[in-house]
Structure 1
Amino acid sequence: MRAGTSGGAPGSRHGAGRAGAERHAALRRLAVSTLDANWEHDHTVPSRTLYPHQWSWDSAFIAVGLAHVRPDRAWRELDTLFAAQWADGRVPHIVFNPALRAGAYFPGPEFWDAARADGAPAAATSGIVQPPVHAPAAWLVHRRAPSAASVAALRRLYPRLVAQQRYLSGRRDVGGGGLAAIVHPWESGLDNSPAWDAPMAAVPADEAVMRAYRRHDTAHADAAHRPTDLDYARYVALVRSYRTGRYRDDGLAGRHPFLVECPLVNAALGAAEHALARIATVIGADPGPHRARAARTTQALIDRLWDPATGTFHPRDLRTDRLVPARTVLGLIPLILPDLPDRQVRALLAEACSPRFGLAARMDRPLPSYDRTAPDFEPLRYWRGPSWLNTGWLVWRGLLGHGRPDLAAGLRESMLALVAGAGCHEYFHPDTGAGLGSPAFSWTAALLLDALAEG
């Protein structure tokens, strides 16, 4: 697959334009039909096979796409998610569908046992979070379909979005440097990224617990493409550790074995403050505190996660107080910050355009999730190499915001070509473009709609 190629008769701009319009129309129909098929009365499931409940950052991305075709559903998506917000402000990474039988998904509500935690909602949820991409999503939904109803929706969501920010920047500032720490790789969204290998090596694998459960992901996807059983045993151990403390965040430094400051989570935290400043202006609130917090978050990212030697951002393992050396797509995501200084922007562009990631105005291969030149690059295994539309979309948005329409156009065309060639898959082979994971994945469809709208 050559991600930069496009259709049309050679030498005929009219033919190429018609072919391009037809391709875009077909992609739009595919995206809409995928989202419609995955709609579940008040939210959208990521997929009907692998992920049958509501996921947090999935819903934010899905809302961005729904704004182009079903804006009422976009707001319903966000409202449903935030109805399950905890009293402390955390937005759980899964909201479980009570209509599904017990054991239909692992780890399900019976394993999380979140209802016994202080401040848990009435809905069955997990106890951890995902990147706070929701305020930017709400802003984009409003911007795409502004109306009195969208202003009312912003006013309704605003205090909940503020509470989410307060939770992450307050209770999760374990390192004391102004950044949120994640307590589980799942909170980053990039579950088995090589960025977590070193911190996870210190986590004891709970193999006895794993033997009492059956993984459901490998029933729907090739096990060679998914996190290993050892990964899952450690994931379970981390859930048990956090659950034992009833999901409290006080004293995490003394009792929890995985504490990492993630570039994506904290870039999203800063971007959310920028979005909240815009939302505040629309609803008549004060944008000033949001702008001030955004500036502090960007500076904290630079102070704590920037490595001038590599020219990119890295996670910080709070257990060792060291940056994790792996060079992953996580390091490029701070491009979404509009106030990222020119020095860091230039360095990130050089990193993105290097052979490690291959960003270009005309791309031969899609953006990978991990350094292509690394000896442990795996083109088939989940976040250890494959290309994902959500991280590509975030980088694309960052390129647009920092005045690089040439590179943004190359990345956009690469994303469109992936879906044109393989459909709305969960993720894609970073060399061939072959579809991997779920074949009808909602955020791929949703973000495709957003990319199409910028053409």
Structure 2
Amino acid sequence: MNTLPKEEAARAILARNDRGGYTVPTDRLYPFQWNWDSAFVAMGFALFDVDRAYRELERLIEGQWDDGMIPHIVFHAPSDTYFPGPDVWGTRHRIPTSGITQPPVFGMALRHVHEAALATGEAAATERTRVLFQAALRSHRWWLTARDPEGLGLVSILHPWESGSDNSPAWDEALARVPTTTTTTIRRKDTGHVDASMRPRDEDYQRFIHLVDTYRDCGWDPKRQWAAAPFKVADVQMTGILARATADLMHLAETFGTDEEKVELTRMHGRLLDGLSSRWRPELSRFVNLDLISGHDVETPTQAGFIPLVALTFDDGQRSAIVAEIERWLDGMVVGVPSAPSFSPSFEPKRYWRGPVWAVINWLISDGLRLNGSADLARRIEQSTVRAIETSGFCEYFDPTTGEGLGGDTFSWTAAAYMALGRRT
């Protein structure tokens, strides 16, 4: 195993951001537990502290709703440094949570943590995994009923925040149809911690909060939300992650599932793979989202078009095409893969999800490349990510053209990604 120059610093960041069994993404800017952040963080903890890795997932599940949804934020303790807080969401869970979800990395993380536990002889691994497996299965059921009620084999987001890629250019056209009027007073806190040029615009935020208002008025009922949603996009990043997580649950089901659950997961997996495969566009050499309101493909180039690599096995032609396309995105970049390519009119190398590089996205893409027999390209992406972190620090994201660290610093999932990717290079 490689000894990484900044491994001790990475572990120190996870310790610094620990709030008692759950990890905040970074202090002040994001003072609560975020769904997909915690899943990546759990995989980081599993490299050196399996018990703490389990605890991360267990604390996240404290926020799981009775219908199976795992919210994107669990407000374990009060803080006034983040907007919108629990008062704006107005959900009625046992503990305060947001009312929307985030990419379902949970199942991937659970398999990772379980296998690490087995490797270290963790005595309580079986029972802890069994409980979390059931929570993950409930979550996947929620996804397919609440977010694919039409049976497309594609799960949809009803809010850009659900994608994890909040202000991605992929949402521009669909979000432009959302009114900027709100019944909630907007008190942005993020621009007090980070330069406004690196964050979503105020107009974006007005639309984001309009959507929150709309779904709160639906009482957070999935059927009412689906009917009322002015923003509804079948997302290949979300679907790809869900398909991969389903495959990981299928693996765990061999030990922890009933025969009925094994059949159920196999059907889920097949439905998602079929839906995902239908979104491949050979003329673009990537996958594209579907705007369910307009009925049109979303051809705007973003990192989401490569995430299905984690779930699908490509034929030689597809693999060659997607590798060549990723190479095109990397051309001239100090660190890649950018969240939007430099040749796109939407490219902004310093503004959140409109160009910057995210270590966890590179983690997913490199995983997918390795699964599809492209280990050399995966290694290059991993090495450039590790170098950027070692040069610029454990930042939230990075300027692909310079490698400069951007957004929040001392970021938990960047620390986790550094340890995970650094062991492969």
Partner in structure 2 of residue 41 of structure 1:
20
Partner in structure 1 of residue 384 of structure 2:
414
| Cα distance, 1:126 vs structure 2 | 0.3
Which residue identity is paired with 1:392? Answer: N
SS in 2 for 1:114: coil
| Alpha-carbon distance in structure 2 between the residues aligned to 1:285 and 1:342 | 36
Tell me the alpha carbon deviations over residues 70-123 of structure 1, each in whole angstroms, 9 at most, x when there is no partner: 21111000001112100110000000033x24x4320000000001xxxxx311
SS in 2 for 1:205: coil
1:68/1:145 contact within 8 Å kept: no
Partner in structure 1 of residue 181 of structure 2:
206
Tell me the alpha carbon deviations over residues 211-234 of structure 1, each in whole angstroms, 9 at most, x when there is no partner: x23101000000011000000000
1:112/1:126 contact within 8 Å kept: yes
1:151/1:282 contact within 8 Å kept: no
- Report how many aligned residue pairs link the two structures: 420
| Alpha-carbon distance in structure 2 between the residues aligned to 1:300 and 1:177 | 6
SS in 2 for 1:250: helix
SS in 2 for 1:145: helix
Q: Which of 76, 86, 90 pairs up with 1:113?
A: 90
Aligned: 1:234 with 2:207: yes
2:313/2:371 contact within 8 Å kept: no
Q: Which of 249, 254, 257 pairs up with 2:222?
A: 249
| Alpha-carbon distance in structure 2 between the residues aligned to 1:96 and 1:58 | 14
Aligned: 1:220 with 2:203: no
Which residue identity is paired with 1:273? Answer: T
Partner in structure 2 of residue 130 of structure 1:
102
| Alpha-carbon distance in structure 2 between the residues aligned to 1:177 and 1:341 | 23
| Alpha-carbon distance in structure 1 between the residues aligned to 2:379 and 2:52 | 29
Aligned: 1:66 with 2:61: no
SS in 2 for 1:316: strand
Partner in structure 2 of residue 180 of structure 1:
155
| Cα distance, 1:296 vs structure 2 | 2.1
Partner in structure 2 of residue 299 of structure 1:
274
| Alpha-carbon distance in structure 2 between the residues aligned to 1:337 and 1:181 | 17
| Alpha-carbon distance in structure 2 between the residues aligned to 1:199 and 1:31 | 38
2:334/2:400 contact within 8 Å kept: no
| Cα distance, 1:310 vs structure 2 | 1.1
1:263/1:331 contact within 8 Å kept: yes
Partner in structure 2 of residue 9 of structure 1:
none
| Cα distance, 1:264 vs structure 2 | 0.8
| Alpha-carbon distance in structure 2 between the residues aligned to 1:94 and 1:341 | 38
| Cα distance, 1:341 vs structure 2 | 4.8
Partner in structure 1 of residue 347 of structure 2:
377
Partner in structure 2 of residue 7 of structure 1:
none
| Alpha-carbon distance in structure 2 between the residues aligned to 1:307 and 1:437 | 33
Partner in structure 1 of residue 74 of structure 2:
95
Which residue identity is paired with 1:50? Answer: L
Runs of 4+ in 1 over 4 A off after TM superposition: 340-343
| Alpha-carbon distance in structure 1 between the residues aligned to 2:222 and 2:183 | 26
Q: TM-score, structure 2 length as denominator?
A: 0.94
Tell me the alpha carbon deviations over residues 185-221 of structure 1, each in whole angstroms, 9 at most, x when there is no partner: 0000000000000100100012663xx2310100000
| Alpha-carbon distance in structure 2 between the residues aligned to 1:216 and 1:97 | 19
| Cα distance, 1:421 vs structure 2 | 0.4
Partner in structure 1 of residue 135 of structure 2:
160
Partner in structure 1 of residue 327 of structure 2:
353
Q: Which of 402, 409, 420 pairs up with 1:432?
A: 402
| Cα distance, 1:154 vs structure 2 | 1.3
Q: Which of 104, 117, 128 pairs up with 1:145?
A: 117
1:58/1:443 contact within 8 Å kept: yes
| Alpha-carbon distance in structure 2 between the residues aligned to 1:313 and 1:445 | 29
1:49/1:438 contact within 8 Å kept: no
Structure 1, gaps ≥5 residues long? 1-19, 116-120
| Alpha-carbon distance in structure 2 between the residues aligned to 1:397 and 1:134 | 16
Which residue identity is paired with 1:110? Answer: D
Tell me the percent identity.
Answer: 39
Partner in structure 1 of residue 292 of structure 2:
318
Structure 2 CA distance for partners of 1:174 and 1:371, relative to 1, 3 Å: farther
Structure 2 CA distance for partners of 1:76 and 1:406, relative to 1, 3 Å: same
2:334/2:402 contact within 8 Å kept: no
Structure 2, gaps ≥5 residues long? none
Which residue identity is paired with 2:366? Answer: W
| Cα distance, 1:253 vs structure 2 | 4.8
| Alpha-carbon distance in structure 2 between the residues aligned to 1:65 and 1:253 | 35
1:298/1:339 contact within 8 Å kept: no
Q: Which deviates more from structure 2 when the two are superposed, residues 281-290 or residues 407-416?
A: 281-290
| Alpha-carbon distance in structure 2 between the residues aligned to 1:410 and 1:128 | 35
2:288/2:298 contact within 8 Å kept: yes
Which residue identity is paired with 2:228? Answer: R
Partner in structure 2 of residue 3 of structure 1:
none
2:183/2:210 contact within 8 Å kept: no
| Cα distance, 1:308 vs structure 2 | 2.7
Aligned: 1:448 with 2:396: no
| Alpha-carbon distance in structure 2 between the residues aligned to 1:156 and 1:253 | 30
